[in-house]
Amino acid sequence: MASYSITDKPSNLNDIRRPPGDGTSGGGYASSKVTRDAVLQLAMNRIPLRDYGLVSSLTENTFVKSLLSDGKSSAAPNTFNYASTSTNGIAFDGVEIYPAMNNTVNQSQPAAEICSIGVHVGQGMGLHYHADGFSALNNGLSLYNSDDYTGKTHPPLLGFGLDGVALFGKYLAANSSMIGYSVALDEYGGHDHDGIGYHYHAHTEAAVSPLGKAYTLHLLLRGAWRGKINSIPSFWSNDKKSTYLGF
């Protein structure tokens, strides 16, 4: 899938309280350079066109490097930190989706480094999602809104993980009649119901910030893939001469 990885809507980058710093200043974050603008990217993401199955354990998938290893964290692997260091999916608007955690192995949301629609830009100036920016109103700002549920029997399609697993919107309280509503999501944020196959959902989760404050995580893709990336041909390959055919 080829895209410019930039939204056709206002990005709200100016409402970010604490944009990612460049990490080069000796004076700490207060002296860091931050970015509040995005540029067109050439994003090329390969989505497998067949089902390669699901992992039965978290560490069954292997990484060249993960958030956990790259951040030199001593934490145990979990579905947040055992994840790609960058893109782990793509939304239908062409903007890349990153794990919920940032590259310091902390949640992006309590760090106040993303805007109200769940995006920010890094020092490479590439726009990407870290969180679900669902809006109850059709205000033309968010990836999706309550109007996208009208007349539907299931939450709307939002995009795909790079493991080929589809990502759908979250279930709303008013969606109790939608298929799959009563089927709990697993630790990866997905489930399987009504014979339609395993898929992810945006969802919320109660959390506690490093300062001990309770808050709600608005999750798009948690981080870890449930799809078997080890079985996908050339999954980690950066060789652009090797075309992935999806079989």
Residue 178 has pLDDT above 90, yes or no: yes
Q: Are 77 and 58 in contact (CB under 8 A)?
A: yes
Q: State which H helix or E strand residue 241 sits in.
A: none
Residue 42: its pLDDT value, please?
Answer: 87
Q: State which H helix or E strand residue 67 sits in.
A: helix 67-70
> What mean pLDDT comes out for the span 136-160?
94
Count of Cβ atoms closer than 10 Å to residue 134 Cβ: 22
DSSP summary character for residue 68: H
Segment 191-246, tens digit of pLDDT = 999 999 999 999 999 999 989 999 999 999 999 999 999 999 989 875 443 333 33
Cα distance between residue 44 and residue 243, in whole Å: 12
**Residue 83, Ramachandran bin (φ over 0: left; ψ between -120 and 50: alpha; else beta):** beta
What confidence category does residue 25 fall into, taking pLDDT thresholds of 50, 70 and 90?
low
Range of the domain at 99: 1-247
What confidence category does residue 64 fall into, taking pLDDT thresholds of 50, 70 and 90?
confident
Report the chain's terminal Cα–Cα distance, integer Å: 16
* Structural domains counted in the chain: 1
Taking alpha carbons only, the member of 113, 87, 82 closest to residue 3 is: 87
Two structure tokens written together for 211: 């300062």
Residue indicated by tokens 């931050």: 34
Cα distance between residue 63 and residue 65, in whole Å: 5
What confidence category does residue 24 fall into, taking pLDDT thresholds of 50, 70 and 90?
low
